[in-house]
Structure 1
Amino acid sequence: MTADTHRSRTRTERLLAVARHDLPASLVVFLVAVPLSLGIAVTSGAPLVAGLVAAVVGGLVAGPLGGSVVQVSGPAAGLALVVAELVRTYGWRATCMITLMAGLLQVVLGAMRVARTALAVSPAVVHGMLAGVGVVIALAQLHVVLGGQPQRSAVENLVELPNQLVNNHSHAVAVGVLTIGLLMVWPRLPRVNVVPAPLAALVIASLTAGVFGWDVARADLAKGFADWVTPAAPRGDWHGIAGAVLLVALLAGVESLLCSVAADRMHSGPRADLDRELTGQGLANVVSGGLGGLPVAGVIVRTTANVRAGGRTRWSTTLHGLWVLLFAVGLSWTVTLIPLEALAALLVFIGARMVNLGTMRGLHGHGELPVYVLTMGAVVLIGLAEGVLVGLGLAALVALRRLTRVSVQVRLEPDDRWHVVVTGSLTFVGVPVLTDNLRAIPPGAAVDLDLNVDFMDNAAFEALHGWRMEHERAGGSVSIDEMHDEWYTSAARGTRASAAKTPPQAPERWWLPRAYRRGGPQSHLPIRHSGLWVSSAAAADDEDSGAVPDLVAGAEDFQRRTAPLVRPFLNRMARAQDPSHLFITCADSRVVPSLITASGPGDLFTVRNVGNFVPRHEAAARDDSVAAAIEYATTALNIRTITVCGHSGCGAMAAVLSAGVKTEGLPGLGRWLRHGDHTLARYILSAPDGPDEGPLDRLCRVNVAQQLDNLRTYPGVASLELSGRLELVGLYFDIASARVHILNPEGFTPVRAGSR
């Protein structure tokens, strides 16, 4: 095949993909965009044509030039209040110029590659702002639905609402109620819900009003694009104009970037380039402002419709802009059939949907709901810009509180020692909490102080060091253990600690056997008992007097040192496990799967038994435990790898070689080792696959290969392996050299030390 033929075929495949996926999606988005654009123009106080201009530019400019392949841009409801205020203050033509200048500012910010900085704005503030805008829009347009006129503020709209409900029962109310009812019911209707609900509601409401001759106001777009106006320089205080430009640029930019991030979660295609997205949105606003259109931003409603309809590339959003242009040029007369009350009802529905309960639940789980609620309330009661500033201030206070939060736990241990655990960031803000808790410790007491802190400022050090000096002068003792960088020790020495927060360090030598962790394998090894390290000889003397066993002491050490480090991700996986490996290995205490595979919680679904046996399917001596683990791992957990790991010096293999001599008096073990008969037969018929380290270790290696064959006797395993959805792996661990070997067709080869 020549290069030209290959390119031609690739081009044809792309065109077919666009025709199959993006073309239908663009039509769906077009049907959603037209009514939304008209409604946003109404609530913004702009000409109706301005909404269509912004929709066209959002498709034809932001679509191909933006950084997201599926995001659809156009006039956004979140900017409606800003535009309405600008129109009242400066007039429509000046508002177009402000939009143009805001676009230029976005282009500059995109060129400076600061897009990701905008994501530092708390989502609680952004969502709260949008919710507040939604409430204001809904309250204002509800008066239009009820046959009245919106008031000057959300508060006045709310006060006047009872009067509107009681006194107005005109045809306008019927159109509005019908439209809202259709918007709510239409998505739940089977088959017909393929037509977008906004389009269906407006068409049905318009036809109903026409058939029954209802007295309603009509939208006026008879002149089509002849109503275009050119932007004009705004007049007034330049500080206010500059603030308006900045506000439009930031609000439109942040909304677009957040929409891009959300869109990335909806599809599996290329990820969004946020700097390019900001630049593309800026160019779209330059063009839209220059053509007399509304400000442009990424719109989550249209983007979601695009993805759900099958849109995959920029063609869908670009084509939707083309369809809007053709509609405005050739079919704009149809807009005159739409009752304004129906458009107002559409905006009431959109405004109410902007108060998203799912978003509120997510923010509540992260403790940010107060920021959301206060921002929304401030936008409704005070104003958009003021509400955003209030939300940003509260978000900053919440973040500061979290960054400076400190927890101090004080308890008396059974051995009359006081155990103090300080967790968090120890700053001057936490000094009162720290000192109040430390004062509760009686003078002269022995204190174990664990500092699980990621930062300590000078004020906190002075308070802690002063208490320690005073406590020790009174005859007490203080033992300090720092789990992070040595903030206290460095300050006490007069050296400088790290200026930034540091990640937690794992407990020192956690991988060592317990007997080697403190001082080496000697007869007087220190062991921790109830928070106190004593020698192993002393621990032995105390066994009859109720001393804590080693494992419980280890559990105490885990709770103290390791639990705070692993708790965050264990909490995330607490409801379900998702391992990728079934790991079958021997019960030998010297084989630690997580150690030799560098695995953590949730990585390995582990089965351990004497000899790492896998009883053959339908074997005479059945073992449902291993079979159940295999069935569960391959069906419920959908694991991708099954590993059988043997090891050197295996006692089970030694018993197999002894022909039952080593299992005399152990009937259960003798029956279990019958699963090694095939291993022994294979061993007798095989030749050494490398340096012969003796019959025992050779049998241990042969056993691994045999257990892999035993796995293949399970129909489910064999089917998955044949289809390529499951891989069987053999490992052999040489204990003396701490070396892992992997089974290849040529035999076992050592695993090389990685360079990562």
Structure 2
Amino acid sequence: MDTQSNVLTALRHDVPASLVVFLVAVPLSLGIAVASGAPLAAGLIAAIVGGVVAGLFGGSAVQVSGPAAGLSLVVADLVHTYGWRATCVITLLAGVVQLMLGAFRAARVALAVSPAVIHGMLAGVGVVIALSQLHVVLGGSPQSAAIDNLLELPAQVVNLHNHAAAVGLITIGVLLVWRWLPRGVRLVPGPLAALLLASTAAAVFGWDVTRVDLPDDLLRWTPPVLPAGDWHGILAAVMLVALLAGVESLLCSVAIDGQHDGPRTDLDRELRGQGLGNIVSGLLGGLPIAGVIVRSTTNVQAGARSRWSAVLHGVWVLVFVLSFGWAIRLIPLEALAALLAFIGLQMINLGHVRKVHGHGEVPVYMITLAGVVVLGLAEGVLFGLALAVLLALRRLTWVSVHVRQEPGDRRHVTISGSLTFLGVPRLTDELRAIPPGVPVDLDLNIDFMDNAAFEALHSWRLKHERSGGSVDIDELHDEWYSLAAGGNRMFPAKTPPKAHERWWLPWAHRRRRRGSAVPEQGGPAECELTVGAREFHRRAAPRMRPIFTELAHKQQPTHLFITCADSRIVPTLITASGPGDLFVVRNIGNLVPRYGSRPHDDSVSAAIEYATQVLGVRTITVCGHSGCGAMAGLLSGGEKAGSLPGLRRWLRHGNHSLARFIQSDSDGSDTGPLDRLCRVNVMQQLENLRTHRKVAEQVAAGSLELVGLYFDIPSARVHILPNPLAAAAVPTGALVRAEEGP
């Protein structure tokens, strides 16, 4: 039965997806072969092998492998240095290295390379490709170095060849506008459409262009030959191809895993599959292969469910070469060059820049990019890795010392980070500024302390206490100071961080030392709620009792806050609000049933009526979140609701959100359809609120604001969504603090 189900899945999903990927793969493979200075057949062979061999034996269900633009500079240099047939041997040996690394389960180590280096490398390669291929588009010949290509570009523009430039402009123009055309037209991939239209125009108008030179004996096998020269350089080339192709494939696998709901990638198996593919590709005379993000993303978006889509795409390329190889000879080289230039510019992904900017790694990205463009691929990667290591060491030795004066001339000092000899100068400067004789509360929130730092801190403490002051040390992390002061052996490295006992942490993170709740005298384990209530009575209640005493007689919230029942959404936490600020309504999917809708719901309507007519709230906020299960249920057409009839009935209130999502275009962000629906749903619920008469009247009178919030769980960020229905775009009070907080 399982076999029959797999066959039906392949026929329904994987076969159509494989055809789409095949249409994308053929022009890209030809273009990458041109950029690599290799025979055109090498790109097609690599596409076939990448699909069939890496698809069958790799560890990813939907990743598609083939010739990668990111390796084209390396291959071009190898072809120039050793010749094409010798480059095939280097590809074969690189596959052997990848196979061995996969056998020794080294795939996870490859992921230790900073993504900023990889993205910077790919962007640099994209710049070099674009600069070189623009010369071909303009009818000239590229120079050997990127800087030379840049300097020669103005002269090339002045002396451009009209026919070649026309073909290039048609190709780039089609690629630019293709994404904006109707969905039915876009069933034909943009690269294929661009080459078809450019080739047709060149043939119809009889333009003087250079055609693709594809030999008649395309699949005739020519054995590779051993490279001649310094074996140190050859070995370095083998390792470079193996590592670059391997890391690019593994990072692609991780990225693609986030785009589908199927099985996760077995990274070691994927590395072994890539190694086997490169062995076969090198033996048959193909380019080095790697997992390719463009084809893999296309595969997922086309609905692929298993590895058979990648395998079949390789089969279709083989069938095309055997049956329609003559059609390739109609393609102008200038069109392929324009396609490559466009792909090169797309490799400069601004989304990657935003991601590395959030982690302070833009210098690594820029140094790698500049190094690849100015010096070369290997040099750029080495410079990027070196800078990434230096920044990592700087972060590991970062220390923060904050001194705050409190009533009674008391000082509260908080030291955070890693206390090493590098931080001793700053530490001693801050501590010496504390007046002698004053009481000091010292919080150590550190994850490492070496002997130099301990000596500096301990000496200051003894001196301060001799001056008549007191030092009360509280270690919020590991007991580095206590162990050192007691003469105990220190840990040789950082220990896993222990969570602070803070109210906002989940229960599992606050078990520090006490472990799980222990049953008394053989009784049942104590409930976490009971433990939490006792902790509230002991720690929070004495400080908060005056607030609750004041609130005991009447509540006066200013906001009605409608959000999802998801346990990860804590309204008071993400809005920096306290008791009495928010009147909260929670339900599955933060839905607001339209007035008079079916199935009828009185709960949300009653809360809206009470909040607007009795409590007099000034703002109604609808807060959605990323990865919402209710929205996933809507996208699945109710399938994910399973045998939950109540949930299926409730989700009918989300049908307007689903319809709005279907009618709207993508916002161009990197988010998937689920999170886009989560945002659309918030805006739809704001519109649903206006179907309640009192809400509509108060909004029109300007006494009530409607606000949409979206909480991105992985990044812990609260976003204010645009709401044309609200009287004001941004509310005051707690919601502004929420925007500034996470």
TM over 0.5: yes
Distance 1:417 1:208, change over 3 A: same
The answer (yes or no) to whether the contact 1:40–1:77 under 8 Å persists in 2 is yes
Match of 1:209 in 2: 202
Alpha-carbon shift at residue 625 of structure 1 (Å): 5.8
Answer yes or no: is 1:360 the counterpart of 2:346. no
- d(CA) in 2 for partners of 1:251 and 1:466? 50
Match of 1:303 in 2: 296
The answer (yes or no) to whether the contact 2:49–2:280 under 8 Å persists in 1 is yes
Alpha-carbon shift at residue 461 of structure 1 (Å): 0.6
> Per-residue displacement from partner, 1:595-628 (whole Å, max 9, x unpaired)?
xxxxxx99999xxxxxxxxx99799999836999
> Quick one: which of 328, 331, 335 aligns to 1:338?
331
Question: Aligned Cα RMSD in Å?
Answer: 3.6
Match of 1:234 in 2: 227
Alpha-carbon shift at residue 362 of structure 1 (Å): 1.1
Within 5 Å, give how 1:432-581 maps onto structure 2. 432-499=425-492, 500-507=494-501, 511=532, 517=538, 550-551=543-544, 578-580=564-566
The answer (yes or no) to whether the contact 1:59–1:321 under 8 Å persists in 2 is yes
- d(CA) in 2 for partners of 1:502 and 1:620? 48
Match of 1:107 in 2: 99
Answer yes or no: is 1:73 the counterpart of 2:59. no
Alpha-carbon shift at residue 402 of structure 1 (Å): 1.3
Distance 1:514 1:325, change over 3 A: closer
The answer (yes or no) to whether the contact 1:35–1:343 under 8 Å persists in 2 is yes
> Quick one: which of 711, 720, 726 aligns to 2:646?
720
Letter in 2 for 1:348: A
Match of 1:116 in 2: 108
Secondary structure at the aligned position of 1:27 is classed as: helix
Match of 1:25 in 2: 17
Secondary structure at the aligned position of 1:479 is classed as: strand
Letter in 2 for 1:720: G
- d(CA) in 2 for partners of 1:604 and 1:503? 34
Secondary structure at the aligned position of 1:25 is classed as: helix
> Per-residue displacement from partner, 1:722-744 (whole Å, max 9, x unpaired)?
85989xxxxxxxxxxxxxxxxxx
The answer (yes or no) to whether the contact 1:224–1:329 under 8 Å persists in 2 is no
> Quick one: which of 151, 170, 175 aligns to 1:183?
175
Alpha-carbon shift at residue 502 of structure 1 (Å): 3.0
Answer yes or no: is 1:162 the counterpart of 2:154. yes
In structure 2, the gaps of 5 or more residues are: 502-511, 515-530, 549-560, 570-585, 591-600, 631-643, 653-742
Distance 1:552 1:193, change over 3 A: same
The answer (yes or no) to whether the contact 2:562–2:621 under 8 Å persists in 1 is no
Alpha-carbon shift at residue 419 of structure 1 (Å): 1.2
Answer yes or no: is 1:624 the counterpart of 2:618. no
- d(CA) in 2 for partners of 1:581 and 1:399? 34
Alpha-carbon shift at residue 336 of structure 1 (Å): 0.9
TM-score, normalized by length of structure 2?
0.71
Answer yes or no: is 1:94 the counterpart of 2:86. yes
- d(CA) in 2 for partners of 1:320 and 1:309? 12
Match of 1:389 in 2: 382
Alpha-carbon shift at residue 287 of structure 1 (Å): 0.3
The answer (yes or no) to whether the contact 1:582–1:604 under 8 Å persists in 2 is no
Identity %: 62
Alpha-carbon shift at residue 367 of structure 1 (Å): 1.1
- d(CA) in 1 for partners of 2:472 and 2:547? 20
- d(CA) in 1 for partners of 2:39 and 2:417? 55
The answer (yes or no) to whether the contact 1:109–1:278 under 8 Å persists in 2 is yes
Alpha-carbon shift at residue 554 of structure 1 (Å): 12
Match of 1:369 in 2: 362
Within 5 Å, give how 1:720-739 maps onto structure 2. 720=646
TM-score, normalized by length of structure 1?
0.70
Distance 1:165 1:722, change over 3 A: closer
Alpha-carbon shift at residue 473 of structure 1 (Å): 2.2
Answer yes or no: is 1:323 the counterpart of 2:249. no
- d(CA) in 2 for partners of 1:395 and 1:488? 31
- d(CA) in 2 for partners of 1:603 and 1:292? 57
The answer (yes or no) to whether the contact 1:231–1:292 under 8 Å persists in 2 is yes
Letter in 1 for 2:367: L
Alpha-carbon shift at residue 633 of structure 1 (Å): 12
- d(CA) in 2 for partners of 1:397 and 1:59? 39
Alpha-carbon shift at residue 513 of structure 1 (Å): 5.7
Structure number, greater radius of gyration: 1
The answer (yes or no) to whether the contact 2:36–2:76 under 8 Å persists in 1 is yes
Secondary structure at the aligned position of 2:407 is classed as: coil
Alpha-carbon shift at residue 466 of structure 1 (Å): 1.3
Distance 1:411 1:552, change over 3 A: farther
- d(CA) in 2 for partners of 1:469 and 1:603? 58
Distance 1:404 1:517, change over 3 A: same
| Over 4 Å off, 4+ runs | 508-518, 552-555, 575-578, 601-605, 615-623, 625-629, 632-641, 721-726
The answer (yes or no) to whether the contact 2:589–2:624 under 8 Å persists in 1 is no
The answer (yes or no) to whether the contact 2:563–2:624 under 8 Å persists in 1 is no
Letter in 2 for 1:456: M
Distance 1:44 1:617, change over 3 A: closer
> Quick one: which of 30, 41, 44 aligns to 2:33?
41
The answer (yes or no) to whether the contact 1:49–1:224 under 8 Å persists in 2 is no
- d(CA) in 2 for partners of 1:487 and 1:119? 31
